A and B are shown apart, each in its own frame.
Chain A
Amino acid sequence: MRHLSTILVTLYAGLIYLFIFLPVVVLVLFSFQDGSLPVPPLNGLTLRWYEAIFADGKLMAALGNSLLVALISSAVACVLGFLAAYAFARYTLPASGLLRGLIVAPMTVSTLIIGLGLLSILNITGMRLSLVTVGIGHVVINLPLCFAIIYASMGGHQVNIERAARDLGAKDWQVMLLVTAPMLLPSILAAFFLSVTFSWDEFIVAFLLSRFDVTLPVEIWSMLRSGLDPKTNAIGSVVFLISVAFLVVMEFTVFRKTGKSS
Chain B
Amino acid sequence: MAATALERMERRKAWAFALPALLWTGFFFIVPFAYMAAISFWTRQGREIVATWTLDNYIAFFGKAHFFKGLVVSLEITATVTVISILLAYPLAWIIAERVPKKWQRFALIMAILPFWTSYVVRSYSWLLVLSKGGVVNQALLWLGVIAEPLELSANRTGTVIGFVHFFVMLLTLTIYANLIQLSPNYRRAAADLGANAFQTFWFVVLPLTLPGIMVGAFLTFVLCIGDYITPQILGGNNELVLPQVIMLQLGRRADFPMAAALSLVLMVVVTLAYIACARWLKMERT
Hey, which bits of chain A sit against chain B, CB under 8 A? 6, 9, 12-13, 16-17, 19-24, 26-27, 30, 37-41, 79-81, 83-84, 86-88, 90-93, 99, 102-103, 105-106, 108-114, 116-118, 120-121, 123-124, 136-137, 139-140, 143, 147, 172, 197, 200-201, 203-204, 208, 216-217, 220-221, 224, 228, 232-233, 235-236, 239-240, 243-244, 246-247, 251, 259, 262
> Can you report 25 A-B residue pairs in the complex whose CB atoms are below 8 A from each other?
A20-B166, A21-B114, A23-B129, A23-B130, A24-B115, A26-B136, A27-B118, A39-B135, A83-B17, A93-B18, A109-B271, A116-B261, A117-B35, A121-B35, A140-B29, A143-B24, A200-B119, A203-B120, A228-B128, A232-B122, A236-B118, A240-B118, A240-B122, A243-B117, A243-B118
B36 near A117 with CB under 8 A, answer yes
Q: With A30-B129, A240-B118 given, is the CB distance from A19 to B22 under 8 Å?
A: no
Q: Please give the number of chain B residues whose Cβ is less than 8 angstroms from any Cβ of chain A in the complex.
A: 74
Binds A, one of B54-62, B104-112, B186-194, B209-217: B104-112
Interchain CA distance A86-B20 in the complex, whole Å: 12
B118 contact from A26, A39, A108, A239, Cβ within 8 A? A239
A221 near B29 with CB under 8 A, answer no
B268 contact from A113, A239, A262, Cβ within 8 A? A113
A140 near B112 with CB under 8 A, answer no
Q: With A39-B136, A106-B25 given, is the CB distance from A220 to B122 under 8 Å?
A: yes
Task: Return chain A residues, CB-CB under 8 Å to B17.
Answer: 83-84, 86-87, 91
A19 near B169 with CB under 8 A, answer yes
A99 near B18 with CB under 8 A, answer yes
**Binary flags per residue of B134-177, CB closer than 8 Å to A gives 1, else 0:** 11100100000000000000000000000000100110000000
In this complex, which of A16, A41, A108 has the most chain B Cβ atoms within 10 angstroms of its Cβ?
A16
User: B285 interface residue, CB < 8 Å from A?
Assistant: no
Interchain CA distance A249-B103 in the complex, whole Å: 20
Interchain CA distance A197-B135 in the complex, whole Å: 30
Task: Return chain A residues, CB-CB under 8 Å to B132.
Answer: 39, 228
A259 near B25 with CB under 8 A, answer no
Interchain CA distance A30-B105 in the complex, whole Å: 31
A27 contact from B22, B25, B129, Cβ within 8 A? B129
Hey, which bits of chain B sit against chain A, CB under 8 A? 10-11, 13-18, 20-22, 24-26, 28-33, 35-36, 39, 88, 91-92, 95-96, 99, 105-106, 110-112, 114-115, 117-123, 125-130, 132, 134-136, 139, 166, 169-170, 181, 223, 227, 229-230, 234, 244, 247, 251, 257, 260-261, 264, 267-268, 271, 275
Task: Return chain B residues, CB-CB under 8 Å to A30.
Answer: 129
Task: Return chain A residues, CB-CB under 8 Å to B125.
Answer: 27, 220, 224, 232, 236
Interchain CA distance A106-B244 in the complex, whole Å: 18
Task: Return chain A residues, CB-CB under 8 Å to B223.
Answer: 110
Interchain CA distance A152-B166 in the complex, whole Å: 31
B24 near A80 with CB under 8 A, answer yes
Q: Give me the 6 closest cross-chain CB pairs, A-B, nearest first.
A: A117-B32, A110-B227, A91-B14, A23-B126, A87-B17, A84-B21
Task: Return chain B residues, CB-CB under 8 Å to A139.
Answer: 24, 28
A84 contact from B18, B110, B181, B229, Cβ within 8 A? B18
Q: How far is the CB of B55 from chain A (nearest CB, A)?
A: 19
Interchain CA distance A93-B105 in the complex, whole Å: 43
A91 near B10 with CB under 8 A, answer yes
Interchain CA distance A6-B222 in the complex, whole Å: 33
A17 contact from B15, B112, B230, Cβ within 8 A? B112
B95 near A105 with CB under 8 A, answer no
Interchain CA distance A232-B135 in the complex, whole Å: 15
B25 contact from A137, A143, A224, Cβ within 8 A? A143
Q: With A9-B99, A240-B118 given, is the CB distance from A22 to B22 under 8 Å?
A: no
Interchain CA distance A136-B23 in the complex, whole Å: 13
